Chain A
Amino acid sequence: MSQEMLALLLEALGETLYMVAVSAGIATVLGVPLGVILVSTSRGHILQNLWLNRILGYIANATRSTPFIILMVAIIPLTRVLAGTSIGTNAAIVPLSIAAIPFVGRVVESALREVDYGLIEAAQAMGASPMQIIRRVLLPEAMPSIVLGLTLAVISLIGYSAMAGAIGGGGLGDLAIRFGYQRFRVDVMISTVVILIALVQLVQSAGDLLSRRLNKK
């Protein structure tokens, strides 16, 4: 493989990492609160608010059940507003984040539901406010599961980011389509696939390790 190709691969890897990192960051910042709200506003929970709960639940489900490739095209107008363009890595970050936010929200929701309600009551009995319960009981206790969930989200994002390449999002997927598929460069195709597999493995192992470290049970 030529020096030139290698440079292209590296650049594409950089773009993929950039897209995934930024959209994972955005999805975490917005998805974790979403998960917290989905749990805490549910029936019998510390901030019960069934209307809010139902509305957010519908939105999350609608977003999650739309296939990513369709979501990506459907929100192009929004992407233009937020990213200033509809092609390139920055543009890809918009649909990637929007797809990942409800994913993270649901994953965090199920992690928080695993926390024994007895712990919440114990905290209430000590005079904890709902905010204190969320920050000092729910999130720390669910952290090992949340980390595993975020790991899953990052892996999905790696896959989606390759799809984003299909509409000129840049990154490894873009490279694979432009060179590997359209110019019949099998070596490029194989290289991108190998790099993607390695990336997923690495993320999964790191997530597992971190989760295990955090888990004191």
Chain B
Amino acid sequence: MIELKNLHKTYHGENGSLDALRGVSIHVQEGEIFGVIGKSGAGKSTLIRCINMLERPGSGSVIVDGEELTTMPERQLREMRKRIGMIFQHFNLLSSRTVYDNIAFPLELAGQSAAEIAAAVNPLLDLVGLADKRNQYPAQLSGGQKQRVGIARALANRPKVLLCDEATSALDPQTTHSILELLRDINQKLGLTIVIITHEMQVIKEICDRVAVMENGLVIEEGSVIDLFVRPQTPTTKEFIRTIVSHDLPDVFAGLPFTDTPQPGSNLMLRLSFIGSSANEPVIAGLIRRFNVDVNILFGNIDHLKNTPFGTLLVEVSGDDAAIQSALQYLQEIELGIEVIGYVARNARATA
């Protein structure tokens, strides 16, 4: 549905130029919720604004719904933009218009009649749950309600794509949750393709199917949200995951002398991630039975990635040195998310 190929964008300012995008390629499938996460200044907003040409990329290609946008003449581009909805961090509602008239705005721009507008706006008011606020002005609404108006407005032209730039960053966690739920609902009901820009892993975790991680104008990691959580490749991604899945070691282990390689007579500390059905397999029991090792569970946590259960276990494997290695090999083979934290001398905990 959206194909970005090798996008470059350089801003020329008074104090030199800045490469905001340095060759970004992304393919967003029809009907999916695609997340882009990155720290401040990574180039996320620049990227999403290139999708509807609010920002013109220096080079590269932007294809939305089969049409190349970078070479499109202005007039045609305006028509194209009506098929791409967008919502903003600060809502950008017209303060001089009521809720109803804000939602009607894009339809007025398109030259629709009052009757056509009413037929489109009324169901949207119901969809976002603001039918009773139709005659209020934005100043009288809460942040979450304003974003609902923003969403309804973005949907008025029945777009195929919805772009969300930090749409929940100005909202509290509860409101964020309800807005994300609304977006997920819309995605399912209308089959809308959604691109979400965020710096909050919580947003990715709650509703995204796939995700790209950006840093310094580049996509440094991309894949399904599940893959990202189970097998994060880059330190940045790991850091983001750590913001919602605690990776802190229990107090008694913090500060112990870990080594990366097995030492004679040491225990292996592992972090295991379980996804979906694998969360139900008796992995730990199997481990103990097959390899004659002891498994001590230090920490456990169960969460959801969109609708998929996702668990994390922190375990300490002890036993014969060779047995520990076979157990490790087995775990690596069965496609579990596994991270070796290190080896720690068997008696270190007692003496610590």
Cβ contacts under 8 Å, B86 to chain A:
122, 125-126
A157 to chain B, nearest CB (A): 27
Q: List 16 other contacts, CB 8 Å, given A122-B86, A125-B163, A216-B137.
A: A116-B90, A118-B92, A119-B92, A125-B54, A125-B85, A126-B153, A127-B81, A127-B109, A132-B109, A136-B108, A137-B94, A140-B96, A140-B97, A214-B96, A216-B95, A217-B139
Q: Closest residue to B95 on the A side, CB-wise?
A: A217
Task: Decide if A143 touches B92 in the complex (CB within 8 Å).
Answer: no
Given A118-B88, A125-B52, A217-B139, also A143-B109 (CB < 8 A): no
SS of A interface (majority): helix
Partner of B78, one of A121, A122, A127, A140: A127
Q: Count of chain A residues with Cβ under 8 Å from any Cβ of B?
A: 21
User: Which B residues lie at the A interface, using CB under 8 A?
Assistant: 52, 54, 78-82, 84-86, 88, 90, 92, 94-97, 105-106, 108-110, 137-139, 153, 157, 163
Cβ contacts under 8 Å, A174 to chain B:
none
Per-position 1/0 for A121-150, Cβ under 8 A of B: 111111111001000110011010000000
Cβ contacts under 8 Å, B139 to chain A:
216-217
Q: How far does the alpha carbon of A116 sit from the alpha carbon of B110 in the complex, in Å? A: 23
Q: How far does the alpha carbon of A189 sit from the alpha carbon of B22 in the complex, in Å? A: 74
Tell me the chain A residues, 44-67 only, with Cβ under 8 Å from chain B. none
- The tally of CB-CB contacts under 8 A between chains A and B is 64
Q: How far does the alpha carbon of A124 sit from the alpha carbon of B138 in the complex, in Å? A: 20
A176 to chain B, nearest CB (A): 42
Partner of A129, one of B54, B78, B96: B78
Q: How far does the alpha carbon of A124 sit from the alpha carbon of B81 in the complex, in Å? A: 8
Cβ contacts under 8 Å, B88 to chain A:
118, 121-122
A81 to chain B, nearest CB (A): 41
Q: How far does the alpha carbon of A121 sit from the alpha carbon of B86 in the complex, in Å? A: 10
Q: How far does the alpha carbon of A140 sit from the alpha carbon of B93 in the complex, in Å? A: 13
Which has the most chain B C-beta neighbours within 10 Å: A119, A127, A132, A214?
A: A127
Q: Closest residue to B89 on the A side, CB-wise?
A: A118
A47 to chain B, nearest CB (A): 12
Task: Decide if A116 touches B54 in the complex (CB within 8 Å).
Answer: no
B219 to chain A, nearest CB (A): 23
Task: Decide if A126 touches B96 in the complex (CB within 8 Å).
Answer: no
Given A121-B54, A136-B108, also A127-B79 (CB < 8 A): yes
Partner of B105, one of A116, A126, A143, A216: A126
Task: Decide if B92 touches A128 in the complex (CB within 8 Å).
Answer: no
Given A126-B157, A127-B79, A216-B137, also A121-B92 (CB < 8 A): yes
Q: How far does the alpha carbon of A22 sit from the alpha carbon of B97 in the complex, in Å? A: 31
Q: How far does the alpha carbon of A141 sit from the alpha carbon of B96 in the complex, in Å? A: 6
Cβ contacts under 8 Å, B54 to chain A:
121, 124-125
Q: Which 6 A-B pairs have the closest CB atoms?
A: A122-B92, A127-B81, A216-B137, A127-B78, A126-B106, A125-B86
